[in-house]
A and B are shown apart, each in its own frame.
Chain A
Amino acid sequence: NAGVMQNPRHLVRRRGQEARLRCSPMKGHSHVYWYRQLPEEGLKFMVYLQKENIIDESGMPKERFSAEFPKEGPSILRIQQVVRGDSAAYFCASSPRSGNSGANVLTFGAGSRLTVL
């Protein structure tokens, strides 16, 4: 039973380029969350999605960042026109649908480390 799969593990971009980070949730999980971890900091919530729906994007920067979780395929976190301050580890987590036992427990992927030169 594969866990939460994130790729790429490491991504290097130059300022102004686009970054795309992918996340496949655990089998049977329909909720996906994206978190960002800056150096020496805890994780900060960005966005919460279900299939084809954004449920809560209160943690997303207003510009350049977007997320989707299509009916088929992985969830994508997209950062346009990256800047040095976007350098961070981006973690994806998934959970079962609400109402299931354990719905409150998030399983995390190994993270994607973005470096902006």
Chain B
Amino acid sequence: AQTVTQSQPEMSVQEAETVTLSCTYDTSENNYYLFWYKQPPSRQMILVIRQEAYKQQNATENRFSVNFQKAAKSFSLKISDSQLGDTAMYFCAFLMNYGGSQGNLIFGKGTKLSVKP
């Protein structure tokens, strides 16, 4: 069974600084997707970034980027120029790709990020 581990329950960063959130996962499969979701106090789940396992290039979305190390099964999220609005729970998630059929997302327990002014 696949598992997702986020080893940092809480982190804080000063506004405008850079922070990296860690995520490791365990799978014997080769074809899958990885995601970071953000959950602000409103509790809405918002997709931050996604990575296809077959792509070697790390995904980027504006201030958000990932460091995907497939052999190490590591998928960290880097937030540059942190803003107060980045304060939220961040969840790493894993999705199997069954050759076009849909699997289901497996989430880590989350990292609570606080951006301080």
Contacts and interface: CB of A to CB of B under 8 A. Distances in A.
Interface of A: 31, 33, 35, 40-45, 48, 55-56, 59, 89, 91, 93, 95, 98-99, 103-108, 110-111, 113
Q: Sort A-B residue pairs by CB-CB distance and give the 9 closest, nearest first.
A: A42-B107, A108-B45, A45-B104, A43-B107, A42-B109, A104-B33, A110-B44, A98-B100, A99-B100
Chain B interface SS verdict (over half): strand
Contact of A98 (B46, B47, B95, B102): B102
A90 to B, nearest CB: 11
Nearest to B32: A104
Given A48-B102, A98-B102, A42 B95 contact: no
Contacts of A42: 4, 91, 107-110
A40 B4 CA distance: 16
Interface of B: 4, 33, 35, 37, 42-47, 50, 91, 95, 97, 100-102, 104-110
